């Protein structure tokens, strides 16, 4: 066995096994397959994914358009159903039959911890110090909160952060194509995992390290100019190829951004106030020391953010060791990491500190992101790595001190911890009766919530003493020679893991007394959510083409309809089309004509009502908010088919003018539809001298008549494709109740390309000449094809970059004495 496993790999393997064991203990229930995390941010995407998987199975192709949310929107372009583009999923997919469902997340969690371990080993850290950093990063409450609350892509993207920093350090030391290929692969895979914000923050820290390395290399006279230039060029090459590897995802996303709510607003990004709602505050910095000082998320939270589910705690031992590292180790790596972590902390303050607005206005794409507190992931990463360095430095420094001197130092630290705990206990007493009211909670709950807040602070203060006291006791007995060195290290790593693990357990399985929502539920809970109920069965029995309009805040935000293949005019998505969002905000679906143009046939409501326009056709159970509840289905008596020929077209100068007309209670889409002047001037394809047009009519007129009447003879609808057979007695304008998105939808009339016009600000329209014609619309976005091509070429370049190292490895193995003798015997 010792010959199979090389000595340098043994620490890696042992660390990986320890980290895996930690993960197994932490997530035993979901790994068993009997439980699953089922928070709102988990259930909604699971329904969409279920619908897309069914669609892929039916058609044999990856769906690029999903019809179930907001009347239709792209998938990959909006960061939906992107796991297929993530290369490691090809391997995980093959292993899926033999691995638990949760194993992909666990492997990434272990990968994150192993990355910190490897990074610290590269910086000369001992096994214990490196393991301290690895377990600390793996158990960081933020990482586990994202995993628990349905943001697994954040955790999986973040897992690459330590590896990317490790790879650039390796490139600096070994300026080879193989090192550049490794950095490109890691950057590309992180981007492929699909959480752009975490990847962007990683690149910010990577850029800081690169700048420091460039300055350092040019100040190093022994390094040589040629090697410095080689490092810079290889770094640039690695970035280009790494981005190229992720082009299959980010080229469509970047093309879509101007059309989505994340890029279609003022200034090309999210508004500053909206972007900085979740800003960290100076006061909440105390949670670095005492996790529950501002509550523990949910109703107990009383900080400045709208709400939160976790404290930004990093572990008291890790924090103290990180501070020691900065104070004692004056190396470029320590200072760079500390500067990056502190800069991220200042940026996390968002609107509470001027720096965020500076970055928001000056840094490319920075204004696309929100939730500034997320930047603390860089601070937390810096702390765990610095803590590993600090552990080795602290033990070395303490070893050089005399026993009596070491005892005095430890007593001073113990006194400081006692004073800190007493300060927190006194603060809790002073806060009694002064806590702000919990948001959205009945007043009669206030005493219970206040009691819980005080209890959390007092418990944390006592645990601060316990953890600190045990750590100091271990150090004291070690320095007196009564505790072996290895058991000291085991004790410190275990204490740090227990400190963070306690917080993680409170996040994973909150107790009933915590007043926080339960997210770890039996698997049957999610199965019920994705399964059909009486209402869904009734709606699915109608096999015609139509959309539904769920009423009420809860039902409007549901994506559950997607799992049943039902198309809704509402839903939930963080990157919906901006034109549709603007349409919803302006009209509110408040007119009968709007429901008709959107092909609405059924309304679903938990509250029964009486309206002559809507006929109650079914009452049954609907699964919502975790239970079966009665709901009614109403048929819209003025239902309009999905494609029709309006009697006339009117050209309007502004979107606002169009909205005003659409809001009119008497609006009839069969009578008239509206096109914006700019679209007419640029693209409206009206055949010249058409019989139905007024004499001398041109595309620039304010009003034009569509002319002939027509009818739809046949219709076939798929997510990415539609086919219509129509007949008209003169040139006419066909409206299709599908959402207008110009980047990818291609229309053909009898096989010949035809322009698509934006109708009523959100729908599609096409001019049709007299006669019988076959019209098709296919979603064939060129950016998806081009992105896949660039990603494939980038992967090829990365593989070529590894060839020199592979050749050297083979040659070195063949030159070993045992292999040489085998060759001679074979000869």
Residue 722 · residue 641 · CB < 8 Å: no
The encoded tokens of residue 290 equal 């005492």
Q: What is the DSSP string of 91-150?
A: HHHHHGGGS-TTHHHHHHHHHHHHHHHHHHHHTT--HHHHHHHHHHHHT-HHHHHHHHTT
Residue count of the chain, please give it: 827
Token match 């963070």: residue? 500
Tell me the angle at which helices 523-530 and 40-59 cross, rounded to the nearest 10 degrees.
60
The tokens for 350 are 């968002």
Residues 6 or more apart in contact with residue 775 via CB below 8 angstroms: 723, 724, 725, 726, 734, 747, 748, 749, 754, 766, 768
Q: Which of 218-227, 243-252, 684-693 has the highest mean pLDDT?
A: 243-252
Distance, CA of 756 to CA of 758 (rounded, Å): 7
Q: From CA 184, how far away is CA 614, in angstroms rounded?
A: 58
What is the chain's mean pLDDT, rounded? Answer: 90
Identify which of 77, 15, 264, 213 has the alpha carbon closest to the alpha carbon of residue 745: 77
Q: Are 30 and 520 in contact (CB under 8 A)?
A: yes
Cα dihedral across residues 259, 261, 264, 268: positive or negative: negative
Q: Specify whether the CB–CB gap between 640 and 597 falls below 8 A.
A: yes
Mapping DSSP to helix (H, G, I), strand (E, B) and coil, where does residue 609 land? Answer: coil
Taking 90 as the threshold, does the pLDDT of residue 712 lie above it? yes
Written in H, E and C, the secondary structure of 335-389 is HHHHHHHHHHHHHHCHHHCHHHHHHHHHCCCHHHCCCHHHHHHHHHHHHHHHHHH
Question: In DSSP terms, which residues pair with 704 in a beta bridge?
Answer: 649
Q: Which residues contact 159 (CB under 8 A, 6 or more apart)?
A: 108, 109, 111, 112, 115
Choose the weakest-confidence range: 56-60, 180-184, 595-599, 677-681. 677-681
The least confident of 60-69, 214-223, 264-273, 423-432 is 264-273
Strand 732-739 to 643-644 pairing = antiparallel
Check: CB of residue 255 under 8 Å from CB of residue 743: yes
Res 702: pLDDT = 35
pLDDT, average across residues 515-542: 91
Which of 437-451, 596-610, 680-694 is least confident? Answer: 680-694
**φ and ψ of 219, to 5 deg:** -85, -10
Is 80 exceeded by the pLDDT of residue 643? yes
Residue 385 has pLDDT above 60, yes or no: yes
Residue-level pLDDT at 400: 85
Q: Determine which of 52-66, 361-375, 400-414, 794-808 has the lowest per-residue pLDDT on average.
A: 400-414
Provide the pLDDT confidence category of residue 805 given band limits of 50, 70 and 90: confident
Query: Do 457 and 293 form a contact (C-beta atoms < 8 A)?
Result: yes
Tell me, what's the pLDDT at 50? 92
**CA atoms within a 13 Å half-sphere pointing along the CA-CB vector of 668:** 8
Give the pLDDT score at 783.
96
Q: Tell me what pLDDT residue 682 has.
A: 42
Most confident of 34-43, 256-265, 736-745, 811-820: 736-745
pLDDT at 824 over 70: no
Answer left, alpha or beta for residue 544, where phi above 0 means left and psi between -120 and 50 means alpha: beta
State yes or no: pLDDT of 825 exceeds 90: no
Average pLDDT estimate for 785-791: 97
Q: Is pLDDT at 369 greater than 70 in this prediction?
A: yes
Percent of the chain with pLDDT over 90: 71
Question: What are the b/e assignments for 323-360, b being 16+ CB within 10 Å?
Answer: ebbbeebeeebbebbbebbebbbbbbbbbbbeebeebb
What gap in Å lies between CA 511 and CA 241, rounded to an integer?
47
Query: Residue 687 pLDDT > 50, yes or no?
Result: no
Q: In whole angstroms, give the CA distance from residue 689 to residue 682.
A: 19
Alpha carbons 633 and 767: distance in angstroms, whole number: 36
**Spatial contact of 797 and 241, defined as CB atoms under 8 Å apart:** yes
> Is the predicted pLDDT of residue 689 greater than 60, yes or no?
no
pLDDT for the residue 816: 64
Cα 808 to chain centroid distance, Å, stands at: 40
Which stretch of 203-217, 498-512, 667-681, 743-757 has the lowest confidence by average pLDDT?
667-681
The CA angle 293-295-297, to the nearest 5 degrees, is: 140
Residue 391 has pLDDT above 90, yes or no: yes
Q: What ranges do the domains of the chain cover?
A: 169-259+787-827, 525-636, 643-780
Q: Alpha-carbon distance 533 to 279, whole Å?
A: 41
> Exposure string (b/e) for 738-759, b if CB count within 10 Å is 16 or more?
bbbbeebbebbbeeeebebbbb
Lowest mean pLDDT among 90-99, 178-187, 598-607: 90-99
Q: Phi/psi of residue 379, each to 5°?
A: -65, -45
Q: Is the pLDDT of residue 49 over 70?
A: yes
């Amino acid at each position: 066995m010792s010959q199979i496993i090389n000595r340098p790999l043994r620490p890696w393997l042992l660390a990986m096994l320890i980290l895996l064991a930690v993960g197994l203990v932490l997530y035993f229930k979901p790994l068993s397959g009997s439980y699953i995390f089922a928070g709102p941010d988990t259930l909604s995407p699971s329904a969409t994914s279920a619908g897309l998987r069914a669609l892929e199975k039916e058609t044999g192709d990856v769906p690029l358009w999903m019809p179930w949310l907001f009347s239709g929107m792209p998938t990959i372009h909006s960061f939906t159903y992107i796991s297929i583009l993530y290369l490691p999923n090809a391997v995980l997919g093959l292993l899926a039959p033999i691995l638990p469902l949760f194993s992909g997340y666990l492997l990434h969690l272990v990968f994150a911890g192993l990355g910190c371990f490897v990074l610290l080993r590269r910086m000369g850290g001992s096994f214990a110090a490196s393991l301290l950093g690895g377990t600390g990063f793996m158990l960081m409450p933020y990482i586990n909160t994202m995993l628990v609350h349905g943001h697994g892509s954040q955790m999986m993207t973040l897992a690459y952060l330590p590896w990317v920093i490790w790879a650039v350090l390796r490139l600096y030391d070994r300026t080879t194509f193989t090192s550049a290929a490794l950095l490109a692969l890691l950057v590309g895979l992180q981007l492929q995992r699909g959480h752009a914000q975490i990847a962007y923050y990683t690149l910010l820290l990577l850029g800081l390290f690169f700048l420091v390395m460039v300055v350092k290399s040019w100040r190093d006279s022994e390094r040589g100019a040629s090697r410095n230039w080689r490092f810079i060029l290889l770094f640039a090459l690695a970035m280009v190829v790494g981005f190229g590897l992720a082009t299959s995802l980010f080229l469509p996303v970047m093309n879509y951004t101007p059309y989505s709510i994340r890029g279609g607003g003022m200034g090309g990004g999210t508004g500053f106030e909206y972007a900085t709602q979740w800003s960290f505050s100076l006061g909440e910095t105390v949670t670095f020391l005492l996790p529950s000082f501002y509550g523990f998320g949910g109703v107990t939270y009383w900080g400045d953010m709208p709400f939160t589910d976790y404290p930004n705690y990093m572990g008291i031992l890790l924090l103290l060791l990180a501070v020691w590292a900065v104070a004692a180790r004056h190396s470029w790596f320590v200072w760079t990491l500390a500067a990056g972590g502190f800069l991220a902390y200042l940026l996390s303050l968002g609107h509470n500190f001027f720096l965020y607005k500076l970055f928001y206005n000056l840094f490319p794409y920075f204004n696309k992101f929100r939730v500034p507190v997320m930047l603390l992931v860089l601070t937390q990463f810096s702390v765990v790595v610095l803590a590993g360095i600090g552990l080795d430095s602290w033990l070395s420094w303490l070893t050089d001190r005399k026993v009596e001197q070491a005892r005095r130092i430890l007593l001073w630290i113990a006194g400081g911890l006692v004073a800190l705990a007493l300060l927190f206990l006194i603060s809790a007493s002073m806060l009694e009766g002064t806590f702000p009211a919990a948001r959205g909670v009945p007043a009669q709950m206030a005493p219970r919530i206040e009691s819980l807040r005080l209890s959390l602070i007092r418990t944390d203060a006592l645990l601060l003493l316990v953890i600190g006291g045990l750590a100091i006791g271990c150090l004291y007995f070690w320095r007196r020679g009564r505790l072996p060195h290895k058991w000291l290290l085991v004790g410190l790593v275990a204490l740090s893991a227990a400190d963070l693990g306690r917080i993680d357990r409170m996040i994973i399985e909150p107790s009933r007394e915590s007043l926080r929502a339960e997210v770890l539920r039996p698997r049957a809970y999610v199965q019920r959510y994705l399964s059909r109920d009486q209402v869904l069965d009734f709606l699915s029995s109608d096999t015609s083409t139509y959309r539904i309009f769920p009423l009420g805040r809860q039902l409007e935000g549901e994506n559950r309809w997607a799992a049943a293949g039902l198309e809704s005019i509402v839903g939930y998505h963080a990157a919906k089309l901006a034109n549709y969002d603007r349409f919803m905000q302006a009209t509110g679906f408040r007119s009968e004509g709007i429901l008709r143009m959107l092909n609405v046939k059924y309304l679903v409501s938990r509250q029964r009502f009486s309206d002559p326009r809507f006929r109650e056709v079914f009452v049954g159970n609907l699964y919502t908010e975790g239970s079966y509840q009665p709901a009614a289905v109403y048929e819209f008596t003025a239902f309009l088919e999905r494609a029709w020929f309006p009697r006339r077209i009117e050209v309007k100068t502004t979107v606002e003018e169009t909205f005003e007309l659409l809001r009119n209670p008497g609006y009839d889409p069969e009578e008239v539809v509206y096109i914006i002047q700019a679209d007419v001037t640029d693209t409206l394809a009206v055949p010249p001298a058409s019989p139905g047009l007024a004499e001398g009519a041109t595309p620039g007129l304010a009003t034009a008549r569509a002319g002939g009447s027509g009818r739809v003879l046949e219709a076939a609808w798929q997510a990415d494709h539609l086919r219509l057979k129509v007949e008209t007695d003169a040139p006419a304008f066909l409206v299709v109740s599908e959402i207008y998105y110009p980047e990818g939808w291609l229309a053909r009339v009898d096989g010949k390309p035809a322009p698509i016009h934006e109708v009523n600000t959100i729908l599609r329209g096409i001019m049709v000449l007299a006669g019988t014609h076959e019209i098709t619309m296919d979603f064939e976005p060129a950016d998806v094809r081009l992105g896949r091509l660039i990603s494939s070429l980038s992967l090829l370049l990365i593989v070529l970059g590894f060839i020199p190292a592979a050749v050297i490895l083979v040659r070195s193995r063949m030159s070993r004495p045992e292999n040489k003798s085998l060759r001679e015997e074979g000869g």
